Amino acid sequence: MKTILVTGANGQLGNEIKKASNKFSLFNFLFTDVNNLNITDEKELEDFFSINKINFIINCAAYTNVDKAETEKDKAEKINVFAVENLAKLSKKHKAHLIHISTDYVFDGNSKIPYIETDKTNPQSIYGETKLGGENSAKKAYKYIIIRTSWLYSSFGHNFVKTMLRLGTDKKEINIVSDQIGSPTYAKDLALIILKIISKTNKDNNNFIEGIFHFSNEGICSWQEFAAEIMQQKKLKCKVNPISTLEYPTPAKRPKYSLLNKTKIKKTFNIEIRNWESALSECLSLF
């Protein structure tokens, strides 16, 4: 039985992998978080790998506070870059496949068409810079897959959907940015794709096709349209007013356009991706 190490298991994606793991009984799962495995500590990680035979690593651990990263660069770098380097080293030493999660923030958001994997990166924030650094670290692994995703949400942790549900219940109207365009990602859908990729590799090692892939749910929207859809689906009476990014300044710059082209992941692994409204509907049914 092959063993999958999941780091950052108490986050949104980690929790969704945990939830889905019972459908993948051919694998032994080790779910870890900073409390029981500090991946920034190379010695601790080395000890863990020497005790456990790891075949696959899914790195969900990340520093994700986009605005705080502007003043906590060292902390963001430690988790998003150096910890990934530690995992890559151990991956190489123990011949474990690494699947690392990255972000649309590695792009500057100046595109007019969905980003493909080979488009030039140009992060505009410390968070984006450290995530790009993490991608470079991940490439040093025995074998790697990097999945860039965007606007992640789930029924776990802190996220935009949960915030909107709270505000939609408490307020009659809210203002949400309407000039940042992308596509939401239901963490459950991403979790299932990752586990399917690993399952294919388990059958045939040649099915692990290295490289960078993009994944989000299908479709396009602004944050304001995303919020309005949440209100509509949950029949909340809160009005969602569109505002510009200039009217809602933040410490970190956000990409204005971060739609990801998913053609490569769909063709490579023969998968279908549902649209974001449908995925949202399933998530909201849990609340």
Which residues are designated catalytic? 127
Element (H, E) at 267: helix 263-269
In the numeric block, the tokens 């602004």 are attached to 222
Q: Could you report how far apart the first and last alpha carbons of the chain are, in Å?
A: 36
3-class state of residue 240 by DSSP: strand
Residues 127 and 73: their CA atoms lie apart, in Å, by 8
Rounded CA separation 227/241 (Å): 10
The residue type of 245 is T
3-state DSSP assignment of residue 39: coil
For residues 124 and 120, give the distance between their C-alpha atoms in angstroms, rounded to a whole number. 13
CB 173 within 8 A of CB 239: yes
User: Which of 1, 3, 101 has the alpha carbon at shortest distance from 55?
Assistant: 3
Question: Which residue type does 276 have?
Answer: W
Looking up tokens 């474990």 gives 96
